[in-house]
Amino acid sequence: MPGIETVIRKLKKTFYYLYYDINYIHRRKIVCSLKNDKMKEILLLTHFGGGTQKYDEEHYSTQRIVLVAPYRKRVCALSFYDKSNVKREIYIKQTDLEYLLDKRYQEVVIGSLLGHDRVQKLITSIVNAKKKNGFLLSCLIHDYHSICPSVFLVKDGYYCGLQCDNCNLYASNEVYTHRRIWNELLSSADRIICFSNSSKNILRSIYDGIEDRVLVQPHKVCTLVDKPIELPHSQLHIGIIGNIYNEAKGLRVLQSIIPCIDKSIKISFVGNTKNEIGIDQENIHYCGRYNQETLPDIIKNEEINLFVFPSVCPETFSYVLSEMMQFSIPIIAFNIGAQKEKMEAYSKGMLVDNMEDLLNAIRKMNDMMKNL
């Protein structure tokens, strides 16, 4: 006899799928109208959140676009602008997406397949639709989902270095199966857009025969300040910008080093990270959410004079780091990915290899401040 929780779970699942089946006619009517709408020239498959969403909003917010992102298991959110230029959103099933693919678009853009259901089947549908309809197929490398199911390429707190045979996260055959599927997509792509030379090199180290189709097009970053902010140099004040929500973005690094930092050094977290960090000390200030317009005032009011960028995954670009660089404030980052590329071109950039080096760099900066 199943328990009450099991019964409730099965009922929820039944009603959940029943709801989407009841709305089948309405969904299919809208999908058919989009499929026959000559104005809809670009289909974008992506996911919501982070730099990917920011990029999509800047480049794909017109009547020409049909945008599809994962919502929950076997259900996608479909967004588009109607003829009155009003944004509409409906929820469709994976089968609706496969039907929507069968159209002579000018272009199908793979922004990210992270979170999409049945990726292998979806990639097969995309490749077959391209063969049939001949649209331009573009793949954007916002993340490393094309290389590994783990996406971030992090093992034991640091960049894995693509040592897949020694990986304890996935069996090596699972990773290679994953890459075989993605190779079908990348081999069919007309262009593969990377946002840093670093991400291009990482992708090329895994996939052969893509060199002539890989383009490096860094994101455009809004200008936040016209001139450097004048800040006091008498006391070190560390600023950590962005939402540090997992190990790859530096959560474990910060939780490990903060107890070792001199309590006289102030630390400001600019972003929604208080619950994740979970450390309350007198020298720590959580500023909460921010936006681009308010960031310069926050930096100035907090009197931040050193940025720490704790991400341990090789970034494909990083809007946050690009914004930090505009303030002409020293930045410490790990010696990997796009962050390495940016710091090597930034006169006040410092690169470190591990947490011990990071702590030593902070202590060195603190000693310099005291001697000024």
Domains in the chain: ranges and CATH? 4-216 (3.40.50), 237-371 (3.40.50.2000)
Closest CA to 102 of 179, 167, 36, 149: 36
User: What pLDDT score does 32 carry?
Assistant: 77
Phi-psi region of 365 (alpha: psi -120 to 50; beta: other; left: phi over 0): alpha
State how far the alpha carbon of 336 is from the alpha carbons of 37, 86, 323, in Å.
45, 42, 18
User: What pLDDT score does 18 carry?
Assistant: 47
Closest CA to 120 of 153, 98, 91: 98
- Helix, strand, coil fractions of the chain, as percent rounded to 5: 40, 20, 40
Each of the 372 residues of the chain gets a pLDDT tens digit; together they read 456 766 666 555 555 544 555 466 666 677 777 777 777 899 999 988 788 888 888 888 777 888 899 887 777 888 888 777 888 888 888 778 888 888 889 999 999 999 888 899 999 999 999 999 999 999 999 999 999 988 899 988 889 998 887 776 666 678 888 999 999 999 999 999 999 999 999 999 999 999 999 999 999 888 888 777 777 667 899 999 998 988 999 999 999 999 999 999 999 999 988 788 888 899 999 999 998 889 999 999 999 999 999 999 999 999 999 999 999 999 999 999 999 999 999 999 999 999 999 999 999 999 988 776
Which burial class, exposed, middle or buried, applies to 180 when counting CB atoms under 10 A from its CB (0-12, 13-18, 19+)?
exposed
Which burial class, exposed, middle or buried, applies to 18 when counting CB atoms under 10 A from its CB (0-12, 13-18, 19+)?
exposed
Strand partners for 109: 44, 138
Question: DSSP class of residue 146?
Answer: T
User: What pLDDT score does 74 carry?
Assistant: 75
85 vs 63: CA distance, rounded Å: 7
User: What pLDDT score does 251 carry?
Assistant: 93
Closest CA to 315 of 170, 190, 141, 167: 141
Q: Residue 99, SS3?
A: helix
219 vs 319: CA distance, rounded Å: 8
- Residue 37: CB atoms within 10 A of its CB come to 16
User: What pLDDT score does 164 carry?
Assistant: 82
User: Hey, what are 133's tokens?
Assistant: 């309809």
User: What pLDDT score does 10 carry?
Assistant: 58
- In this structure, the strands spanning 158-159 and 191-194 are unpaired
